[in-house]
């Protein structure tokens, strides 16, 4: 008996891996180009439009330069102040120190009003020489402090705290009388430490009187024997002894001070005896003419005069 051809005895035919059986469909899938699409085709896409929208910095191949650059700010050259004529520089100094006008004295507000303005002296030596001379030559300095508080009784006034070269620039001083009329401070003493000998350019001394204790208003409060009148007169003499080059004395006062009072008469006598020129300030309005005493005002609270005579009585019938 012959075996069957094509099949070995005891073996099976090797089959491939089994997979899903495709199912035939009656519908055919259309090609993608057959349906309309929402995206533009390569033929419809224009790259020039996108390039036109880009910024110039984005066209660079360098990534760091792709961000837009800010325009470079040109540095302004400094103003050459010293190239100005000296007359114009003095005008600038005058405008700079305009808010410091007045009398220089020890005052708590000096830091706000004066100290910050003096920072201009630190620029250079030339500006220091010009601005410092302008500042000290155009401001009066009070000989003794009058601001109430810790400066009033100090033994070292502003004039004594200044440097000799600063005192040499001064052209005017002020002696204010009236504060401390009952008990003057002990620091109100003319001595070499005050520095009046360095004020060689001072030609005018302003004497300002705030009050006259000789007025009847101070009766019962003032010291006897014209104490403050003698003190003020001696103080003026000591100041003039230290500065014999002074040529003019300017007197000014508050409205309640009379030129005919004992205080003013003593100060005027000292000025006349030394042959100095007398000037009058604007606030009080005195002149070389004699002071006209104003008429006493009517006192409405004064008692009415009582007549002790028998009034005439007329009887009408």
- What digits encode the pLDDT tens for the residues 68-78? 677 788 888 88
Average pLDDT estimate for 179-200: 92
- Is the pLDDT at 64 greater than 60? The verdict is no
Average pLDDT estimate for 301-311: 61
Average pLDDT estimate for 224-253: 94
CA distance 160 to 172: 15
How many C-beta atoms lie closer than 10 Å to residue 162's C-beta? 19
The contacts of residue 277 (CB under 8 Å, 6+ apart) are: 247, 248, 249
DSSP β-ladder status, 172-177 and 140-142:
parallel
Looking at residue 8, what is its pLDDT? 47
Looking at residue 88, what is its pLDDT? 93
Looking at residue 197, what is its pLDDT? 95
Highest mean pLDDT among 40-44, 54-58, 182-186, 267-271: 267-271
CA distance 115 to 117: 5
CA distance 75 to 268: 63
How many C-beta atoms lie closer than 10 Å to residue 179's C-beta? 16
- Is the pLDDT at 79 greater than 70? The verdict is yes
How many C-beta atoms lie closer than 10 Å to residue 248's C-beta? 14
SS3 133: helix
Phi, psi angles (nearest 5°) of residue 146: -125, 0
Burial of 183 per CB tally in 10 Å (0-12, 13-18, 19+): exposed
* Token reading at 12: 């099976």
For the chain, give the mean pLDDT. 81
The contacts of residue 264 (CB under 8 Å, 6+ apart) are: 209, 212, 251, 253, 257, 258
Looking at residue 1, what is its pLDDT? 47
- Is the pLDDT at 191 greater than 50? The verdict is yes
pLDDT band per the 50, 70, 90 thresholds, residue 41: low
The contacts of residue 282 (CB under 8 Å, 6+ apart) are: 252
* Token reading at 300: 């409405």
pLDDT tens readout for residues 103-160: 999 988 888 888 889 999 999 999 999 999 999 999 999 999 998 888 888 989 999 9
Looking at residue 108, what is its pLDDT? 85
């Amino acid at each position: 008996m012959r075996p069957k051809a094509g099949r070995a005895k005891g073996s099976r035919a090797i089959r491939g891996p089994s997979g899903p059986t495709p199912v035939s469909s009656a519908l055919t899938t259309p090609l993608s180009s057959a349906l309309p699409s929402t995206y533009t085709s390569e033929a419809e896409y224009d790259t020039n439009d996108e390039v036109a929208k880009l910024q110039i910095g984005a066209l660079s191949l360098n990534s760091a330069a792709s961000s837009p650059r800010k325009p470079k700010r040109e540095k302004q050259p400094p103003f050459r102040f010293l190239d100005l004529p000296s007359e114009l520089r003095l005008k600038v100094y005058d405008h700079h120190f305009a808010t410091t006008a007045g009398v220089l004295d020890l005052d708590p507000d000096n830091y706000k009003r004066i100290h910050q303005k003096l920072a201009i002296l630190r620029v250079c030596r030339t500006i220091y020489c010009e601005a410092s001379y302008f500042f000290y030559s155009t401001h009066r300095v009070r000989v003794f402090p009058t601001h109430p508080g810790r400066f009033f009784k100090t033994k070292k006034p502003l004039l004594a705290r200044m440097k000799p070269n600063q005192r040499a620039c001064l052209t005017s001083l002020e002696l204010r009388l009236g504060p401390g009329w009952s008990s003057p401070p002990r620091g109100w003493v003319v001595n070499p430490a005050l520095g009046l000998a360095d004020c060689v350019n001072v030609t005018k001394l302003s004497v300002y009187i705030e009050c006259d204790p000789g007025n009847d208003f101070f009766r019962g409060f003032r010291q006897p024997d014209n104490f403050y009148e003698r003190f003020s007169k001696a103080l003026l003499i000591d100041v003039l002894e230290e500065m014999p080059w002074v040529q003019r004395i300017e007197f000014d006062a508050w409205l309640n001070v009379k030129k005919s009072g004992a205080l003013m008469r003593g100060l005027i006598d000292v000025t006349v005896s030394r042959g100095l020129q007398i000037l009058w300030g604007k606030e009080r309005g005195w002149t070389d003419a004699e002071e006209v005493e104003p008429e006493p005002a009517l006192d409405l609270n004064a008692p009415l005069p009582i007549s002790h005579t028998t009034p005439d009585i007329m009887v009408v019938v």
